[in-house]
Chains A and B, each alone.
Chain A
Amino acid sequence: AQSVTQLGSHVSVSEGALVLLRCNYSSSVPPYLFWYVQYPNQGLQLLLKYTSAATLVKGINGFEAEFKKSETSFHLTKPSAHMSDAAEYFCAVSNNDMRFGAGTRLTVKP
Chain B
Amino acid sequence: DTEVTQTPKHLVMGMTNKKSLKCEQHMGHRAMYWYKQKAKKPPELMFVYSYEKLSINESVPSRFSPECPNSSLLNLHLHALQPEDSALYLCASSPKDSYNSPLHFGNGTRLTVT
A interface secondary structure, majority: strand
Task: Out of B102, B104, B106, B107, name the residue touching A34 (CB < 8 Å).
Answer: B102
A contact residues, total (Cβ < 8 Å)? 22
Chain B residues near A98: list those with CB within 8 A: 33, 45, 103
CB distance from A93 to the nearest CB of B (A): 9
**A49 touches B (CB below 8 Å):** yes
User: A43-B2, A43-B105, A43-B107 in contact; A95/B99 too (CB < 8 A)?
Assistant: yes
Report B95 CB to chain A, min CB distance, Å: 12
Q: Which of B33, B48, B100 has the most CB of A within 10 A?
A: B100
Shortest beta-carbon distance, B82 to chain A, in Å? 24
Where the two chains meet, the residues of A that have a C-beta atom closer than 8 Å to any C-beta of B are 32, 34, 36, 41-46, 49, 51, 90, 94-103
